[in-house]
Amino acid sequence: YPSGHLAILVVREKKQLICVVQEDKLINAKIQAVFKSSGRSTCYYPNGSVWINMTIQGGQYLDQGGNRVRRWTWPNSIVSPEPHAPLKPIFISLNRHVGVRILRQDKIIVSFLARGQQAKFNMGTKVEVSDVSRLPPWPQLSEDELLHLAFKVSILRLFDRLHGCLNFPSNEQRDKIKPPAYLITQTLKILQLCTTSDISDELRSSISAIVNI
């Protein structure tokens, strides 16, 4: 930065490059973004909240409250269970001097501008998906999103039970009826998301109890 503080640091860790953007401070400078050549990258708001999170499958753009604004998948993520949502070019300013332009998977430009001079770093990567089992998990969901999904499935299961009570008054018949396949699939998916998301064991147990009511 013009102040003399370190703005961008690019290091090599084993076989990948890591680009770290710091705020304009000498002491206790917060990290504003981390880009990895492996395809995983995260940008942060000044308050520390996640702004953009990307993996080799795609990414998501969040507001400062943690609510998802948009979500996209890269063209090569044909094995993703989610509907394909193409990327619309994104440009954000991390601060007065550092900007990030996301144009495609292999063109993610981190630019630094000061005193009439500019430096650019392309931290994009092109990852060919050849083995489904090797894919990393989708960008982690927030605690509120996981709870929302859990309560939604729980309510649907309760409605299904109520429907069963009306159609089969006999307890013996009703107990033999299993939930619909789509509810079982959604329950398993939520439990899987809990194991891959960075949440507390207490919340993980609570969500498990909610979806298995």
- The string of pLDDT tens digits covering residues 18-52 is 899 999 988 888 899 999 888 889 999 988 889 99
Whether 99 and 108 have beta carbons less than 8 Å apart is answered as no
Q: Which residues contact 118 (CB under 8 A, 6 or more apart)?
A: 111, 112
Name the strand (E) or helix (H) holding 165.
helix 143-167
Residue whose token pair is 């640091």: 9
201-211 and 143-167 are packed helices; what angle lies between their axes, rounded to 10 degrees? 20
Domain assignment present for 32: yes
Largest CA distance in the chain: 80
pLDDT value for 13 = 76
Domain assignment present for 3: no
User: Do residue 120 and residue 157 come from a single domain?
Assistant: no
Single-letter amino acid code for the residue at 158: L
User: Do residue 21 and residue 121 come from a single domain?
Assistant: yes
End residue of a domain, out of 132, 162, 190:
132
Domain assignment present for 138: no
User: Do residue 123 and residue 167 come from a single domain?
Assistant: no
DSSP H helical segments within 19-103, as ranges? none
User: Do residue 121 and residue 157 come from a single domain?
Assistant: no
Domain assignment present for 58: yes
**Band of pLDDT at residue 152, cut at 50, 70 and 90:** confident
Q: Tokens representing 178?
A: 């299993």
**Residue 193: pLDDT above 50?**
yes
Q: Which residues contact 158 (CB under 8 A, 6 or more apart)?
A: 213
Task: Please report the beta strands in the chain, taking only residues with DSSP state E, as ranges in sequence order.
Answer: 8-13, 16-22, 31-36, 41-44, 50-54, 58-62, 68-73, 90-93, 98-104, 107-114, 117-122
Q: What's the CA gap between 53 and 72, in Å, rounded?
A: 11
End residue of a domain, out of 71, 101, 132:
132
User: Do residue 190 and residue 86 come from a single domain?
Assistant: no
pLDDT value for 64 = 87
| Mean pLDDT to the nearest integer, 91-105 | 94
User: Do residue 30 and residue 119 come from a single domain?
Assistant: yes
Of 1-15, 62-76, 109-123, 189-203, the poorest mean pLDDT is in 189-203
Domains of the chain: total? 2
User: Do residue 110 and residue 162 come from a single domain?
Assistant: no
Domain assignment present for 177: yes
End residue of a domain, out of 99, 132, 165:
132
User: Do residue 22 and residue 51 come from a single domain?
Assistant: yes
Q: Which domain holds residue 189?
A: 143-212
Domain assignment present for 2: no
User: Do residue 161 and residue 206 come from a single domain?
Assistant: yes
Q: Tokens representing 205?
A: 């147990």
pLDDT value for 134 = 44
**Band of pLDDT at residue 81, cut at 50, 70 and 90:** very low
Count other C-beta atoms under 10 Å from residue 58's C-beta. 23
User: Do residue 106 and residue 148 come from a single domain?
Assistant: no
Q: Which residues contact 46 (CB under 8 A, 6 or more apart)?
A: 23, 32
Per DSSP, the three-state class of 31 is strand
User: Do residue 19 and residue 61 come from a single domain?
Assistant: yes
Cα 202–chain centre separation: 21
Domain assignment present for 79: yes
Q: Which residues contact 210 (CB under 8 A, 6 or more apart)?
A: 147, 150, 151, 153, 154
User: Do residue 158 and residue 201 come from a single domain?
Assistant: yes
Domain assignment present for 104: yes
The overall average pLDDT reported for the chain is 79
